[in-house]
Amino acid sequence: MKNKVQIFIASIFVCGCMAVVNTAKAQTSNNMIQEVQLNKNDAFNEIRNLLMANFDFTNSDYKQGVVNSEVKFDIAENGKIVNVHSKGDCKNVSKEIEKVLSSLQYRVDSKKINQNMIASTYVMPVRVDINNR
């Protein structure tokens, strides 16, 4: 009977240790959403060009000078740009970036995206120069 109690206690101890190790492993694994930082020489250059072509530079609420922003977006299975969120030096410029990218009829060609660029979220820096009116 004493051996059975010792085996039972030892098995509880082993199960407890495994639970602690698995919890620690889950906390240290990379559970973050994968993001790809886009630069000027990638397949997303068309998106940059469309953004600048459709951007409304006439809004008087924009901050003057160079405005740096960062836009995050996802690509749906059909190639549409979705879940657009922008943050930067001027909230009005960020809103305009979100509006333009969300309303584009453009579809990303999945053949142009190489294996290193497949991600859940894409991050694209945007720099806009707002001249004096």
Reading the chain (133 residues) residue by residue, the pLDDT tens digits are 666 666 656 556 555 545 555 554 444 444 444 555 555 556 678 888 888 899 988 888 888 889 999 999 888 878 788 899 999 999 999 999 999 999 988 887 767 665 555 666 888 888 888 886 5
CATH of domain 35-130: 3.30.1150
The pLDDT of residue 25 is: 47
Closest by Cα among 45, 59, 37 to 106: 45
Burial-class residue 81 by CB neighbours within 10 Å (0-12, 13-18, 19+). Answer: buried
pLDDT at 47: 84
Nearest to 102 by CA among 116, 120, 84: 84
Per-residue confidence (pLDDT) for residue 62, from 0 to 100: 87
- Domain range summary for the chain, segments of one domain joined by +: 1-31, 35-130
Q: Are 42 and 124 in contact (CB under 8 A)?
A: no
